[in-house]
Amino acid sequence: MFMQTVNKSDTERVWVNVTNGDAATITTHWAMHKFGMDANIASVSTNEGGLAAVSTGGTAAEQDGGEGGFIGLAYEDIPAGAVGVVQAYGYHESFLVMRIVGSVTVIPGGPVGPGSNAASTGMSSTGAIMGAMGPVVALDTITATLHSLGTTATNFANHCFIRAL
């Protein structure tokens, strides 16, 4: 873990190193999860495998469901098996929005969190497991149209504050 020095012109930020445990590259601004596999559910480490999607294997007790395992947002593209940087606290430029049909608009200050759909790599407000206590706060309006675009390069919301520590 490393922290940015606090100064008057920029907010404090915290980053952690993770190893991408997925078979594909995890793109910048995508949600990252820890404890995503049964084998490492009880382990503690300074650099654990990170995944884009939440766990679906094992018993309910072994699955993080997106809640306890949320690390933060990828700060850079992290190729499969490579070590990369994930931001866990502070202002972040953007985040991937999860596709939700018929979702509502999220206003600035509204919380978002990992979606309940294990196949999704995005963040959402409706359908977020953490609900009102979501670990990411939107600092811009997220329209229902943006939610309906699916997981493509066009459905990123701008400006958020991460509080995943």
pTM of full prediction above 0.85: no
Give per-10-residue mean pLDDT for the chain (165 aa): 69 87 84 62 53 54 52 90 90 85 80 67 65 79 79 76 86
By three-state DSSP, how is residue 96 classified?
A: strand
The pLDDT of residue 117: 54
The pLDDT of residue 96: 85
Nearest to 55 by CA among 71, 74, 34: 34
The pLDDT of residue 92: 93
SS3 assignment for 105-154: CECCCCEEEEECCCCCCCEECCCECCHHHCCEEECCCECHHHHCCCCCCC
Write down the domain spans for the chain.
11-163
Query: Do β-strands 83-96 and 14-20 pair in parallel, antiparallel, or remain unpaired?
Result: antiparallel
Cα gap 34→151, rounded to integer Å: 21
The pLDDT of residue 44: 45
CB contact at 8 A, 135 and 164: yes
Identify the burial level of 158 via C-beta atoms within 10 angstroms of its C-beta, where 0-12 means exposed, 13-18 middle and 19 or more buried.
middle
- Reported as half-sphere exposure (CB side, CA atoms, 13 A), residue 143 has a value of 5
Query: Do β-strands 83-96 and 111-114 pair in parallel, antiparallel, or remain unpaired?
Result: unpaired
Cα gap 84→81, rounded to integer Å: 9
CA 129 to chain CA centroid, nearest Å: 12
The pLDDT of residue 152: 61
